[in-house]
Structure 1
Amino acid sequence: MKPRHTWSALTTASLTAVVLASASAHAVGGGGTAGEVDERTLASTAHSQIEVTHVKGGGGKGKKGNLAPIDPNWKPPACWYEPLFTPEQLKAFVEETDGEGMVGIHQGWYGRSLWENHYAKGKHEPNLDTENTTAKGYDNYNIGKKGYFWRSVAPDDADPRSSACDKVMFWQDQGEIPEVPHSPTPKTLAEYAYDKVEIPETKIEAKPAAKSTVNLPTWVWLDKGTFKDVKVRAELPNTGLWAETTAKPKSLHLEPGTADSETFPASGECKINEDGSIGTPYTKGKSKQDPPCGIKYLRATDGKPFQLKASITWEISWEGTGGAGDTMPDGTFETTQDMNVQEIQSINR
């Protein structure tokens, strides 16, 4: 069978049939500091070796969810490059798979001679870019040198932005980060970690809880410690790069679920108190007072409860390798709960 390049945007699912079933695996990097890499790794366009650790918060067994950035234009990186194989590992990969896999997110090589010609015999190959640049060939997989062959990865290979990482898998000396567009940085890892932050779903406290009354305020609050900071760490093996992304609760926003209502404050935005709580718990005798955080419904429900939406806004910051750090757009996490509202019945005599 003639060796072939595949230039189209292949997905992981479409590659399953061409991956061989060899069980052999090789540890990436000296000393096996990263995870295991086998032929499926190279064939998978969406596989990243970034290691994610939930350092703080977000625990428990309840339902969790990811933050949604408030800025609709902000998106995490669509692609970057990562170290994948040492010279010895790449040679073993080619021999064991007979040359079946990906040299880039959207570039598959199928045929052992393609790999051998480029990585062992010095043949140049074109990169998959609009500038028509050339990837220079290598001698004997660079065996004897210290370093890694780097390959592009993408969380979602169907994202059109992922085509920006268009270089054929290339060499970089050990201890160095490639000076090419879309090389990983601490910020890359921080943004990757942002997408991994898991926020626990917590039902807000409301009084009266079971059923509100028309024209009487419903007090809403969250006790101190209900929401805590959440921190996620992301590390890219064999690069020395790391970042920790922290989400800190900032405010609670209420949407009553009907226009026939009022919110307290009028903006519906309840700030977090100095002690970490939100609002003030209801106590007996306050039924007619306006709460610092709450809702007043102006009409009763008729068999179908209103859907009260409670959105927590989280401030996002990060720190990483070399003292790097900054902020990122705030994120939100929304929960919904039923609110039944009754009409007070009175009898005139």
Structure 2
Amino acid sequence: MEMLMTEDTRNGTAVQEFILEGFPVAEHLGSLFFLVHLLAYLASLTGNTLIIAITCEDRRLQTPMYIFLSSFSFVECCFITTVIPRLLAIFLSGRQRISFVACFTQAFVFLFLGATVFFLMAVLSLDRYLAICKPLRYLAIMNPRTCFFLVAVCLVLAFLFMVVPVVMLSQSFYCGPNVIPHFFCDFGPLASLSCSDTRSIEMLFFHLALIVLFTSLSIAIFAYSNIVATVVRLPSARERQRAFSTCSSHLVVLSLMYGSCVFIYMKPKQTSRLDTNREAALVNTVVTPLLNPIIYTLRNKQVHQALRDALSRVKLHRYQRRSAPPL
């Protein structure tokens, strides 16, 4: 295996860089996968950026739900940008070298933003619960100050949960090999390459990841079970059908996110099944971020109207510029 050491490997010297292996079995399809993932990445960025832009521009969308959704979209843009550009480079030119510091920085940012996404999903679920099940108290509880406070809490909690295990793992000893069987620097593959005993660090990470997933999932289950119970009691069949359609779409995203992360991270020994983790990670980093803008907002009638109004204003502005007399 390829290794770059500060001194001769016989002296037990430290690895200075890692090599991201990517998907060796699909190297002959690199160009095709590059195109597919590039389109998915651009579509995700476009959809999430569009949500942020129209939320900031349209006063009708400056409500608690869209404050959370725009925050969610911003985090999603950062989350996929942490991983996908390097994945595209792997598809285009094969294995990629990454420095020790850059690798652990990527691992921390990925886990920090990933945990933030789960906390924000819980907040979004809670927001929908209050809006549907407690409509009279909704605006009193979910005022702008509360919304921004909850977003800040999500960021702080995610940072505190992920910084400790990643810093501890970065301080362990790496003497080689340095080939990571993944397309980005994740906690499990890095732990498997360490020459130190990382069992205590892995158990700490396992329990912290369990808290993040279990807490956010419990809030989501509580919220949507109450929403379903409320929707069932609606008098109109059309209202029930519309509400169930929205809930089912949200639950698809929740299932993909939690399913892939449970498969990857909910193993006390992170070294097991690293090869299959790559495929599950693709769902978490490519598929779900692509679906989120479509399911959470772009299917929403308010968003459709805001988009139509924005396009009308752009067309009107262009027409006025063209028809304006020259100076």
* Structure number with bigger Rg: 1
TM over 0.5: no
Normalised TM-score (structure 2): 0.22
Normalised TM-score (structure 1): 0.21
Name whichever structure is richer in helix by fraction: 2
Name whichever structure is richer in strand by fraction: 1
- Bigger RCO of structures 1 and 2 (CA < 8 A, at least 6 apart): 2
